[in-house]
Amino acid sequence: MTDVQNTGKNRLIKTFAVFGFAAIIVFLVWLAIQLVSLLPGAFASLASMAESIQNRERTTDTIVIDAPGSVANSQESFTISWNETKRSGHYTLSYKCVDGVSLDIRLASGTILPIDCGSPYQLPEGTTSINMAFASEKERFVDVPYTIAFVPAGKTVASLESSKSLTLVNPTIPAAGLVASAEDTNEDSAPVVDTPVPTTSTPSTPAPAPREPQYVVTTTYKVPVSDPNGYTDLAVSYLGIGTITSGGKYTPTGVLDADDNAAFQFKVKNVGTKTSTTWKFEADLPSGYTYVSETQAALKPNEEAVMTIAFGEIGDDGLKKFGVRVTGGADTKTTNNSFISAVQVKD
């Protein structure tokens, strides 16, 4: 009886084993079918990802302008260029409206076109550089911002843009409030004369009435670019003392005779990073008078004004003191705004 039971049990086990093996085969076949159906989508997704990465490598989200500098003379031509965005569309050029400023561009064909301010000009397709020439008719120094922008195909609004600022210099326009340099005037012409302001003190000894003082200004500049967030610092430096001719030519001597037509020189320089406002100076003269200047033009960073103060005959000998004080200009540092010196006057 036991043998019959064992035989039946073995047959049952073998039957379950066969069915189990068949079920595993069916499952593996089904799994293979599912994998085959998913593979095309996976490959397509990988292909799409690769294409997206390639597109990012071909395009750029910034425009970088390459300009020869930030300062140019009026009507001086120069060329700017910029990187390609590798997208379908066109570039535009625009500049801010500034009184007295105009712009001409030269196309690749050689055509020169005037460009209106305040509105973008569509550049020819494929343009990534342009020759420009700004002109300034009213100001000696003026800052002009300009912009290169990219407009996608089918759009009217730029999606990318980059701007730079250019300082225009017109050397033919004198700085406001300054007298022409001695080198620019004829020696036979009459010098510019200002009325001195006497101090309240009276000289202890009588002296001949001094000649009316005069001053001559020479201005120079070096990359006068102003930082609107910077600071102003007007620094005064004593240059020397000497004599001056009737034509305004200054000669340094270091010592003076009582009857010399005397003068001394100093300079005021903006050693800060921001353009100053207008300023004045007061000069204590060796002859005992104080001279108050007219309002002087603003100085850009690194710009300086060289002053020659002619005060005529001193009248008596001895050690004479003189000095200068500068006021105004929105100066943030006043410790370098003055100097005091002395000269030995011989009889």
Residue 277 pLDDT class (50, 70, 90 cuts):
very high
Mean of the per-residue pLDDT values of the chain: 78
- Residues 236-249: pLDDT tens digits? 999 888 888 777 78
Residue 216 pLDDT class (50, 70, 90 cuts):
low
Query: In this structure, are residues 282 and 291 in contact, taking their beta carbons and an 8 Å threshold?
Result: yes
Do 182-346 and 65-169 fall under one CATH topology?
yes
> Is it true that domain 182-346 has CATH number 2.60.40.10?
yes
Look at residues 319, 167, 322 and name the one whose alpha carbon lies nearest to residue 236: 322
Listing DSSP states for 109-151 in one string gives: TS-EEEE-TTSPEEPPTT--EEEEEEEESS-SEEEEEEEEEEE
Domain residue spans in the chain?
65-169, 182-346
Q: Indicate the CATH number for domain 65-169.
A: 2.60.40.1860
Whole-number pLDDT of residue 331: 92
Whole-number pLDDT of residue 181: 38
Residue 49 pLDDT class (50, 70, 90 cuts):
low
- Residues 70-129: pLDDT tens digits? 888 888 888 999 988 778 889 999 999 999 999 999 877 777 889 999 989 998 888 889
Whole-number pLDDT of residue 22: 77
What's at 202, amino acid-wise?
T
Strands in 304-312's sheet, in edge-to-edge order, are 214-220, 304-312, 262-270, 234-244, 250-252
Residue where the block lists tokens 């004080």: 325
- What is the spatial distance between Cα 168 and Cα 139, in angstroms, rounded to a whole number? 9
Whole-number pLDDT of residue 187: 40
Residue 155 pLDDT greater than 60, yes or no: yes
Average pLDDT over residues 282-307: 89
